[in-house]
Amino acid sequence: MNNQPRGRKAYHHGNLKQALVEATLSLIQEKGPTGFTLAEAARQAGVSPAAPYRHFKGREDLIAEVARQGYILFAEQLETAYNRGKPTPLTAFEAVGRAYLDFARTRPGYYIAMFESGVSTVGNPDLNMVENRAMAVLTQAAENLFEHLPKSQRPPATMVSHHIWAMSHGVVELFARGEPGGRAPFSPEELLESGIGIYLRGLGVIPE
């Protein structure tokens, strides 16, 4: 029986960097983004403690790479949900919100690295670029919602996208972790969609 860690097999195939990313994802979910060392990530990947330094300066650098890959997956999931604004701008906008919750639920290691590890996109062009790609989906979805309004009545799409991002993140943090419905008699999706509806009606984007 072969008890060799999966990471070591990946390393022998020249995938040391990705093996460390996958090991870090597991450790983040188990211990949080600050609860492990680079040496532990190496051990989890089945490589020597010195091996990670071939690709990363330290643990924070490794977590930043996890976050970068997470943002790529995140943007792809949002883009798929948005589906070029079909079938309607409103349903597409709501689908993006649901995709946000789904990503946090199904890819918690990436989500924590992206939003809860303290990793900053400032000064990291690669990370900033992929974060902007994800934000651009929400901004485009907002712009499509406003097309029927006179230009003088259209709220700033960037402001709206950031508000919805904040609302989605709040729902994730308060209600989408642990047991579903553990803190509210409604699902995270119901809470987010009702919140989006109230917000957009307040802006006059959708009718009362």
R_g of the chain, CA atoms, integer Å: 20
Tokens linked to 115: 């939003």
d(CA 31, CA 14): 27
C-alpha of 150 from chain center: 33
CB 160 within 8 A of CB 196: no
CB 172 within 8 A of CB 192: no
CB 66 within 8 A of CB 28: yes
pTM reported for the whole predicted model: 0.86
Residue 13's pLDDT is 45
Fold of 59-203: Tetracycline Repressor; domain 2 (1.10.357)
Write the CB contacts of 187 (distance below 8 Å, at least 6 apart in sequence). 180, 181
pLDDT in tens, 3-52: 334 444 444 446 899 999 999 999 999 999 999 999 999 999 999 999 99
Q: What are phi and psi of 136, to 5 degrees?
A: -60, -30
Query: CA 97 → CA 20, 113, 149, 153, 163, distances in Å?
Result: 31, 20, 22, 24, 12
Ranges 3-12, 105-114, 140-149, 150-159: which has the least confidence = 3-12
Write the CB contacts of 186 (distance below 8 Å, at least 6 apart in sequence). 194
**What is the SS3 assignment for 81?**
helix
User: Domain limits of the chain?
Assistant: 6-54, 59-203
pLDDT in tens, 169-201: 999 988 876 555 456 688 899 999 999 999 999
